[in-house]
Amino acid sequence: MASNNPPSSDSSDSDSLGSTTRSILSLVLFIYLFVMWVVVSSSLGGNHASLAQDKLLPLFQPLTETLNLDVRASPYNLYSGNPEDYEHFFRIELTNPAGQVQTYQVPGPMLGSGLKDPYRYERLAKIVAMQAEISEDRIPAEICMGIGEYFLRQAGGGKVSLQCIRRRPQPMQLDIDGQQYSPDPRDASYEDIKYRATVLVDSEGAFQLIKQMADEHVAPVE
Amino acid sequence: MLGAYLTRFSDTIGNGWNQFWFKRESPQTISILRIVVGLVALIYALSFTSELALWFSDGGILPADRTYRLTGADDPTVSVYYWSLFYLVHTPSALYVLHAVGLLSILSFTLGFQTRVSAVIAAIFVISYAERAPMLAGLLEPLLCPVLLYMCLAPSGAYYSIDAWLRKRSGNDQPVADSYAAHIAVRLIQLHVVAFYLMMGLSKLGGISWWNGNAMWWLMAQPDHRLVDLTFLRGEKLRLLVFAWTHLVVLFELVFGLLIWFRIWRPLLTVLAIFHWLGLGLVTGHWEFAILMSGLSLAFAPWQTLAEPVEEAVQQSIAEQPLSRPSPETAEASV
């Protein structure tokens, strides 16, 4: 894209850079901007990139992943109306070795109270819920195991029951066609349990996760 | 005729491209951006402090082997290019030592001390935080990382920095030379910011809640995300504000991406960006991303546009003074 033509009055400065240098820089910039354009535009339709983008993105992956340029995993539209935009969290029931039961929420004071930690635990809860919905067990199990292990170590054993909960946002009007909605946005009526598992220490001292329930797709009732 | 058109076309595009990218520019703008980006990077890195070991040490929530399994890096058939210095250490003490080095490098970059070196180290650390557990990343990381990389290209410590103070103290009062690298870095930041604005605006157009005006309500109705409770806006007389706000968010993001290239709009859009991101930051909880987006508006140097009419007015008033006689230098310059 670099021009070798007689300079206009404004381009005398750019000409002092040298034609070869400008050409090399232009090529690098052009390729980089093309990569960025493909990456950024592929995020516009949520997870629905075109076939051309799907072919190109793996080619650019060594650059975009290495330099953390990929934008597709982040919700830049802020709200799309899909359940993945709702709040997600874990509810933990810890049964300590003495048999006492305590309930915690993650993120919460016990885990996830740092500056941006609530957001990070919420991301994990969101991944668990989304993966459970497509009947993918491995990733929810890995994440719940990590959280369960933490609570078991704190309690010195026992058993942890985890629930991954999605909270639907409260509608603007609390009375829609005769249906009443709770004025408390954290009311249990807004909650859906998407995944449930128990983490415990087996007789050999190893941590075990037992899945109890995962939300699954249900065919619409006609 | 076609050949003449193609020649003229390639000349025009080529000259435009050269004028856009290849100019010398004072490193003042990139130095101001260094402070903004450095502060946000510092906040970002500090946000890992309280639970760093809980997250990443062996026995934590996401030790390295679990992260590998979650990203697919444990599968030899899957290509995964995530890397992080924090994959190399596994104990709480080692993690915190590395974290301290990361914080110091980012602080050094923000203050402009040994900026050429500290910029590179700070970028390596910020990417390391972001890529240690990529599934935790939010809105901030994909913008902060490339902007920091652009900073590495330019003399971002030339002004408003400890380096500048040390230079002055050693008796070097010469202004810093204009730089091609500073100009290219600022241009890359401008393009990246505009791409983000347009991406955010266009992606909203794909969601019905941004068309029917409800999207801002759904954001402010999420009790754990929001920093302030604005749900009183559901009132009969106030809800119009929610709908109007939703439409203004989309409009502003699209308008910013287009009109910021016109110098006369820059001061106004920069001020509006502060209000735009303040509102979104408070409602969504993405306040550090909001700070970065507001701050990066400065890449368009809105103060230069504000200064232009004043300079012109001063020159005009000098020209209109009947008794003023231009000095020989001024007369020569005006010619």
- DSSP string for B180-225: HHHHHHHHHHHHHHHHHHHHHHHHHHTSHHHHTT-HHHHHHT-TTT
Q: What's the confidence (pLDDT) of residue B307?
A: 85
Asked if the bond preceding A107 is cis, omega within 30° of 0, the reply is yes
User: pLDDT at residue B98 above 60?
Assistant: yes
Q: What's the confidence (pLDDT) of residue B220?
A: 95
User: pLDDT at residue A102 above 90?
Assistant: yes
User: pLDDT at residue A46 above 80?
Assistant: no
Within a domain: B318: no
Same domain? For B253 and B290 the reply is yes
Span A180-207, pLDDT tens digits: 999 999 999 999 999 999 999 888 888 9
Q: What's the confidence (pLDDT) of residue B319?
A: 56
Chain A partners of B239 at a C-beta cutoff of 8 Å? Answer: 172
Tell me which residue has tokens 């016990």.
A110
Q: Which residue has the higher pLDDT, B66 or A16?
A: B66
Q: What amino acid is encoded at B260 in this protein?
A: I
Same domain? For B74 and B28 the reply is yes
Q: Label residue B34 by pLDDT band (50, 70, 90).
A: very high
- Residue range A51-70: mean pLDDT, rounded: 91
Within a domain: B122: yes
A15: closest CA of chain B, how far (Å): 8
Span B42-90, pLDDT tens digits: 999 999 999 999 999 998 999 999 999 999 999 999 989 999 999 999 9
Chain B partners of A142 at a C-beta cutoff of 8 Å? Answer: 66, 69-70
User: pLDDT at residue A216 above 80?
Assistant: no
**Range of B157's domain?**
24-167
Same domain? For B301 and B186 the reply is yes
Q: Label residue B253 by pLDDT band (50, 70, 90).
A: very high
Q: For chain B, how many structural domains are there in total?
A: 2
Nearest CA in chain A to B22: A14
Same domain? For B189 and B280 the reply is yes
Within a domain: B78: yes
Q: Rounded to the nearest 5°, which phi and psi values hold at A101?
A: -110, 130
Q: Between A5, A44, A86, which is nearest B206 by CB?
A: A44
Q: Label residue A122 by pLDDT band (50, 70, 90).
A: very high
User: pLDDT at residue B12 above 90?
Assistant: yes
Cβ A67–B46 below 8 Å, yes or no?
no
Cβ A67–B60 below 8 Å, yes or no?
no
A199's enclosing H/E stretch is strand A191-201
Nearest CA in chain A to B280: A78
Same domain? For B188 and B96 the reply is no
Same domain? For B161 and B288 the reply is no
Same domain? For B154 and B203 the reply is no
Same domain? For B54 and B160 the reply is yes
Q: Residue B98 is encoded by which pair of tokens?
A: 């590395």
User: pLDDT at residue B35 above 70?
Assistant: yes
Of the three residues B137, B167, B197, the one that is the final residue of a domain is B167
Within a domain: B150: yes
DSSP for A104-144, written as a single string:
EEESSSSS--SSSHHHHHHHHHHHHHHHHHTT--HHHHHHH
A200's enclosing H/E stretch is strand A191-201
> What is the C-alpha to C-alpha distance for residues B280 and A82, in angstroms, rounded to an integer?
19
A–B interface: beta-carbon pairs under 8 A: 218
Chain A partners of B209 at a C-beta cutoff of 8 Å? Answer: 79-81
Q: What's the confidence (pLDDT) of residue A219?
A: 39
Helix segments in B236-286, DSSP class H: 239-259, 266-284
- Report the sign of the C-alpha dihedral through residues B309, B312, B318, B321, in that order: negative
Of the three residues B167, B199, B220, the one that is the final residue of a domain is B167
Q: What's the confidence (pLDDT) of residue A3?
A: 41
- Tally the residues of chain B: 335
Chain A partners of B225 at a C-beta cutoff of 8 Å? Answer: 87
pLDDT, mean over chain B: 91
Give the percent of chain B with pLDDT over 70.
Answer: 92
Neighbours of B257 (CB within 10 A): 20
Same domain? For B216 and B161 the reply is no
> What is the C-alpha to C-alpha distance for residues A35 and A33, in angstroms, rounded to an integer?
5
Q: Within 13 Å of residue A143, how many CA atoms lie on the same side as its CB?
A: 30
Q: Residue B5 is encoded by which pair of tokens?
A: 């058109």
Same domain? For B216 and B302 the reply is yes
Cβ B204–A77 below 8 Å, yes or no?
yes
Q: Which residue has the higher pLDDT, A99 or B256?
A: B256
Q: Between B19, B200, B242, which is nearest A77 by CB?
A: B200
Q: Label residue B283 by pLDDT band (50, 70, 90).
A: very high
- Residue range A61-71: mean pLDDT, rounded: 92
Q: What's the confidence (pLDDT) of residue B227?
A: 94
Q: Which residue has the higher pLDDT, A220 or B4?
A: B4
A1: closest CA of chain B, how far (Å): 5
> What is the C-alpha to C-alpha distance for residues B223 and A85, in angstroms, rounded to an integer?
13
Q: What's the confidence (pLDDT) of residue B288?
A: 96
Same domain? For B206 and B74 the reply is no
> What is the C-alpha to C-alpha distance for residues A67 and A98, in angstroms, rounded to an integer?
49
Cβ A81–B222 below 8 Å, yes or no?
no
Nearest CA in chain B to A27: B17
Q: Residue B91 is encoded by which pair of tokens?
A: 């104990």
Q: Label residue B260 by pLDDT band (50, 70, 90).
A: very high
- Residue range B26-34: mean pLDDT, rounded: 96
Within a domain: B155: yes
- Residue range A12-22: mean pLDDT, rounded: 76
B170 burial (CB, 10 Å; 0-12 / 13-18 / 19+) is exposed
Q: Which residue has the higher pLDDT, A72 or A64?
A: A64
Query: Strand A191-201 and strand A159-167: pairing?
Result: antiparallel
Q: What's the confidence (pLDDT) of residue B54?
A: 94
Q: What's the confidence (pLDDT) of residue B317?
A: 54
